[in-house]
Amino acid sequence: MDLKIRDVAELLSVSQTTIRRWLAEGKIPAYRLHRQYRFSRIEIEDWVMRQRLGAGKATGTPFGHDDKEQEHSGQQQFSFYRAVHKGGVLTDVPGTSKEEIIRYTMDQIANKAHFDAEVISELLLDREKLSPTALNNGIAVPHTREFLFKGPSDLITVVYPKVPVDWGALDGKPVHTLFFLFSCDDKRHLHLLAKLAHLSSSDDGLALLQTKPSNQDLLAYIKAWESNLRT
């Protein structure tokens, strides 16, 4: 089921007025049905992944400083750090295709995440068929369309493939780092997608990721990087 204006406003933690302004300015993907705007959930996810977190109202990004968004900023400040701390890092993961990387990773984290590796692998692959989850600059964020993580906090497992893998990125670059994202609710899911999109445009962050940093070194970087974001 596609979304209405009020649904998108709630998910992005902005006002319906802000959504209508973005629509008038052509800054958010939508279509008209019986003279009303509707939004594809997949298109909104892809749109969020293309935004730079904290770019502000002038650019029309969903995570500037709308008054409603500020209510949530405290709990979200270190959401990325907490999720990676929970999910951990896998280095030199074998595989030369999306399916091989996804299935291997799910087998490794299924017990920690308390889910069925086969079922989640299929959901992840279904999402990739709808639209690749690759960002630019060698980063991808595999996530599912329907599954919400059952737990007190979100989970992100960072994967460094043994060799870079084609993930269907728009810039044509193979992926050297994957952030497997499992969120507890839709709002946090979109917020973490935006943070990961922002990281993919950070020169310092990209340089670090290409060295395949350890769990400890990556967490130290994320904590410092995230503390400087306008969330």
Backbone angles phi, psi at 31, to 5 degrees: -140, 165
Helix (H, G, I), strand (E, B) or coil at 14: coil
Known catalytic residue at 34: no
Backbone angles phi, psi at 175, to 5 degrees: -90, 130
What is the enclosing helix (H) or strand (E) of 126? helix 117-130
Catalytic residue selected from 34, 85, 143, 191:
143
Helix (H, G, I), strand (E, B) or coil at 161: strand
Q: Which of 109, 118, 231 is nearest to 182 (CA)?
A: 109
| DSSP label of 207 | H
Q: How many CB atoms lie within 10 A of CB 154?
A: 23
Helix (H, G, I), strand (E, B) or coil at 39: strand
By annotation, the residues acting in catalysis are 143
